[in-house]
Amino acid sequence: MKHNAPSVSYPFQRSLVQALIYLVVWFSAFAVVCSWIWVSQNKNLALLVGLAATILAGLACFTGWKSSPVGQLVWDGQYWHWESMAYQSGMAEYEVFVAADFQHALLLHITNHANATLWLWAERSTLPERWLDLRRAVYSPQRPATGRVATA
């Protein structure tokens, strides 16, 4: 007899883990470009382009982090649903895949029947009392999204 994980609802907000990863990668790139500028004998346009590209990449990371999806992922025992203020006309079914597992943080890739995708960072610190329930649910066998939209 197969048992599914119990239903769970887990909130998502802007991820501190995601922000830290972006910061570490960006500061590393910025340090490399600054070192390149420092040791370069001739200051040319390539150095300025490298510096500008690094600064623009940092702005893109910040913009991406600020526009991270906010809402809650709901497992009803059979299907996954994403609920957010941006998507209120029913709840499409989603398939959830674990892209990375850091024990206290999960990077989830969710897709619906129309191949719309979201990347979500789940963090234990958001709701510690439901963390293990979420982990059980994302690793439990799931049905593929059928394409039906449940109206609220």
- Tell whether 53 and 78 lie within a shared domain: no
The pTM for the full model equals: 0.75
Q: How many domains does the chain have?
A: 2
Q: Please report how the helices 45-66 and 16-39 are oriented relative to each other, as an axis angle in degrees rounded to 10.
A: 170
H helical segments located in the chain: 16-39, 45-66, 128-139
Q: For residue 21, what are the domain limits?
A: 16-66
- Tell whether 80 and 27 lie within a shared domain: no
Q: CB–CB of 74/83 below 8 Å? A: yes
In a domain, 110, yes or no: yes
pLDDT at 14 over 80: yes
| CA 151 – CA 20 distance, rounded (Å) | 37
| CA 14 – CA 56 distance, rounded (Å) | 21
Q: What is the pLDDT of residues 21-51, one digit of tens each?
A: 999 999 999 999 988 888 887 778 888 888 8
- Tell whether 58 and 74 lie within a shared domain: no
- Tell whether 91 and 130 lie within a shared domain: yes
147 DSSP assignment? S
pLDDT number for residue 144: 61
Backbone phi and psi for residue 69, each to the nearest 5 degrees, phi listed first: -60, 140
Beta pairing class for 105-112 and 91-101: antiparallel
In a domain, 152, yes or no: no
Q: What is the pLDDT of residues 56-103, one digit of tens each?
A: 999 999 998 998 888 999 998 888 988 887 765 556 788 999 999 999
- Tell whether 60 and 75 lie within a shared domain: no
